């Protein structure tokens, strides 16, 4: 697979658009004998994907918050090493919810695969999975973990640099009031000034902004406004 990882590194350096990434990743995935791919970027407030998994599966995955349950994500977070997996083998000795997850995935032809996680900036993580409808994998040789991690790190950098829109992602829901007050905060207004502008009590402004901060999994109000701005919620 070393040649394959080199190809992945090359396209990550050259691709400049979502179309280029998607075309190249789909071609490389098929070249290796797999059916589909999924690049996941794990953020504090959720996950976003660039993937050619069936759209219905991607919608279901995020609507049901499977990113919080997905055993492949759990293994990736705990090991941070390349690994292979098979849903048929992994269902043994697992909870009912995880068995249900594997069965749901299998309905869409996702039964086995290779997952390569990499650590990214500020304690976050991204991962690339190439998946197959086959019940198990039979690789000709062991995967070089250094080449694998290097290639996926390059992929992460390329997707970040090109600012590729997600094919699906976790949703963050703010109320209209939370979004409004966060926008004022992003404009540099202090809470007492916001209370005056919106004819609200300081207590209510603090209440809504605190709830917005929690919804965005932010430690501070400036972090909340920065996150909401990045996600285009305000």
Kindly state whether residues 157 and 203 are assigned to the same domain: no
Of 122, 137, 169, the last residue of a domain is: 169
Kindly state whether residues 42 and 142 are assigned to the same domain: yes
Kindly state whether residues 215 and 162 are assigned to the same domain: no
Kindly state whether residues 83 and 102 are assigned to the same domain: yes
Domain count, the chain: 2
Kindly state whether residues 68 and 94 are assigned to the same domain: yes
Residue 37 is predicted with a pLDDT of 97
* pLDDT at 18 exceeding the cut of 90: no
Residue 49 is predicted with a pLDDT of 93
Q: What is the CATH number of the domain that holds 83?
A: 3.30.450.80
Kindly state whether residues 57 and 128 are assigned to the same domain: yes
Residue 91 is predicted with a pLDDT of 66
Rounded to 5°, angle at Cα 44 from 41 and 46: 60
Kindly state whether residues 120 and 152 are assigned to the same domain: yes
Q: What is the pLDDT of residues 60-69, one digit of tens each?
A: 999 888 988 8
Kindly state whether residues 41 and 62 are assigned to the same domain: yes
Average pLDDT estimate for 114-138: 92
Q: What is the CATH number of the domain that holds 190?
A: 1.10.10.10
Q: Domain of 26? A: 2-169
Confidence grade of residue 228 (pLDDT, cut at 50, 70, 90): confident
Kindly state whether residues 25 and 120 are assigned to the same domain: yes
Residue 121 is predicted with a pLDDT of 86
* pLDDT at 40 exceeding the cut of 80: yes
Kindly state whether residues 81 and 137 are assigned to the same domain: yes
Of 148, 169, 190, the last residue of a domain is: 169
Kindly state whether residues 131 and 112 are assigned to the same domain: yes
* pLDDT at 15 exceeding the cut of 80: yes
Which residues on adjacent β-strands are paired with residue 119?
125
Percent of the chain exceeding pLDDT 90 equals: 65
Of 151, 169, 187, the last residue of a domain is: 169
């Amino acid at each position: 697979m070393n040649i394959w990882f080199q190809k992945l590194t090359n396209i990550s350096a050259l691709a400049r658009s979502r179309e280029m990434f998607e075309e190249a990743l789909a071609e490389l995935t098929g070249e290796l004998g797999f059916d589909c791919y999924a690049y996941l970027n794990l953020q504090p407030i959720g996950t976003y994907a660039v993937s050619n998994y069936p759209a219905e599966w991607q919608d279901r995955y995020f609507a049901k918050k499977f990113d919080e349950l997905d055993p492949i994500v759990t293994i990736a977070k705990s090991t941070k090493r390349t690994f292979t997996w098979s849903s048929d083998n992994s269902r043994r000795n697992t909870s009912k919810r995880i068995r249900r997850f594997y069965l749901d995935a299998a309905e869409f032809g996702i039964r086995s695969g290779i997952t390569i996680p990499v650590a990214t900036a500020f304690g976050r993580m991204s991962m690339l999975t190439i998946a197959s409808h086959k019940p198990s994998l039979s690789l000709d040789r062991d995967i070089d973990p250094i080449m694998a991690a290097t290639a996926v790190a390059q992929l992460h950098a390329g997707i970040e640099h090109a600012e590729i829109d997600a094919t699906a992602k976790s949703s963050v829901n703010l109320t209209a009031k939370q979004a409004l007050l966060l926008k004022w905060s992003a404009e540099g207004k202090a809470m007492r000034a916001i209370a005056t502008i919106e004819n609200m009590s300081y207590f209510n402004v603090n209440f809504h902004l605190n709830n917005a901060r929690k919804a965005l999994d932010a430690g501070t109000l400036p972090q909340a406004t920065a996150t909401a701005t990045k996600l285009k919620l305000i």
